[in-house]
């Protein structure tokens, strides 16, 4: 009976300290690679969102121009408030990150260029 108990105690299964340290080292390497990559993805998505918002505002100004809603100041172009008030943009200006104007440039052939600034 005593020998049987000794055999049972010797059959304890588990991980050694070396195995646990190896797993921790592998996880540390994975984290060291993943964190900068995720940071870059977030930065790129913010830049792409800003570009998309600028295009959205420029398109709203184009639509306002085609609809005949002229800007209050033709040299300054359309302000964000004018586009929201006229219904061409549906955003909350306090939360919207873009605060500039859309400049309108007329070319010699009569074409118009809309650029957010």
- Predicted confidence (pLDDT) per residue in 66-117, tens digit: 887 777 666 678 888 888 888 888 877 777 777 777 777 777 777 777 777 8
Note the pTM of the prediction, 2 decimals: 0.63
Residue 38 within any structural domain of the chain:
yes
Residues 14-73: tens digit of each pLDDT: 788 999 999 999 999 999 999 888 988 998 998 898 888 888 888 888 888 888 777 766
Residue 6 within any structural domain of the chain:
no
Residue 11 within any structural domain of the chain:
no
* pLDDT score of 45: 92
Are 104 and 82 in contact, with CB atoms under 8 Å apart?
no
* pLDDT score of 18: 93
**DSSP readout, 38-88?**
HHHHHHHHHHHHHHHHHHHHHHHHHHHHHTT---SBTTTBEEHHHHHHTTS
HSE value, Cβ hemisphere, 13 Å, CA-based, for 113: 7
Nearest to 60 by CA among 41, 43, 38, 84: 84
Q: Which domain holds residue 96?
A: 18-116
Residue 4 within any structural domain of the chain:
no
Residue 103 within any structural domain of the chain:
yes
Provide the number of structural domains found in the chain.
1
Tell me the C-alpha distance between 5 and 87, whole Å: 83
Residue 75 within any structural domain of the chain:
yes
Residue 9 within any structural domain of the chain:
no
* pLDDT score of 73: 63
Residue 29 within any structural domain of the chain:
yes
Q: How confident is the model at residue 9 (pLDDT cuts 50, 70, 90)?
A: low
């Amino acid at each position: 009976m005593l020998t049987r108990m000794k055999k049972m105690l010797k059959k304890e299964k588990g991980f050694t300290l070396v195995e646990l340290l190896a797993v921790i080292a592998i996880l540390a390497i994975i984290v060291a690679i993943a964190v900068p990559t995720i940071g870059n993805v977030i930065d790129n998505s913010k830049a792409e969102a800003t570009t998309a918002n600028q295009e959205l505002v420029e398109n709203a100004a184009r639509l306002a121009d085609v609809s005949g809603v002229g800007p209050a100041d033709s040299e300054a172009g359309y302000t964000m408030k004018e586009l929201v008030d006229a219904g061409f943009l549906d955003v909350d200006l306090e939360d919207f990150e873009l605060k500039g104007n859309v400049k309108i440039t007329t070319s010699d052939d009569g074409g118009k260029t809309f650029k957010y600034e």
